[in-house]
């Protein structure tokens, strides 16, 4: 069973920084595209940043370009979201997402998985 566990959320003042981490487990190897989404109260969940496997190309929501950076450590099955120059409107629950193929046991599978979310609050 693939599991995603996020950490690193918290309360930060405007202009501050946070680094979120997401550790994936439950498989031997994968070609997951890893993403961070967020959902603010009363709003729909939105894509924040995405990084592919292999070429590790990235894309970002316009609202976070130049402030957030997504990266991954393949050896540790971990994806990071470095968030700088945080604004109150960045306040949300941030979710890690894994989508793609993975090998577990003796078989290949495809699936999409979500973490439990981590709260980020930007406030003075």
Give residue 22's pLDDT band: very low, low, confident or very high (50, 70, 90): very high
pLDDT in tens, 51-81: 998 778 999 999 999 999 999 998 889 999 9
pLDDT value at residue 74? 82
pLDDT value at residue 56? 80
Q: What angle do CA 71, 115, 58 make, to 5 degrees?
A: 25
pLDDT value at residue 55? 75
pLDDT value at residue 59? 96
pLDDT at 96 over 90: yes
Report the mean per-residue pLDDT for the chain.
95
Give me the percent of the chain exceeding a pLDDT of 90.
Answer: 89
């Amino acid at each position: 069973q693939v599991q995603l566990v996020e950490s690193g959320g918290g309360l930060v003042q405007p202009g501050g920084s946070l680094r979120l981490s997401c550790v994936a487990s439950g498989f031997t190897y994968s070609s997951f595209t890893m993403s961070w989404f967020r959902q603010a109260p009363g709003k729909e969940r939105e894509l924040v940043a995405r990084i592919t496997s292999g070429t590790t190309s990235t894309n970002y929501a316009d609202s976070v370009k130049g402030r957030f950076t997504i990266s991954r450590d393949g050896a540790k099955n971990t994806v990071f979201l470095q968030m700088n120059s945080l604004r109150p409107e960045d306040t949300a629950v941030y979710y890690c997402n894994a989508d793609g193929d993975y090998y577990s046991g003796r078989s290949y599978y495809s699936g999409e998985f979500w973490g439990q979310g981590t709260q980020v609050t930007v406030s003075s």
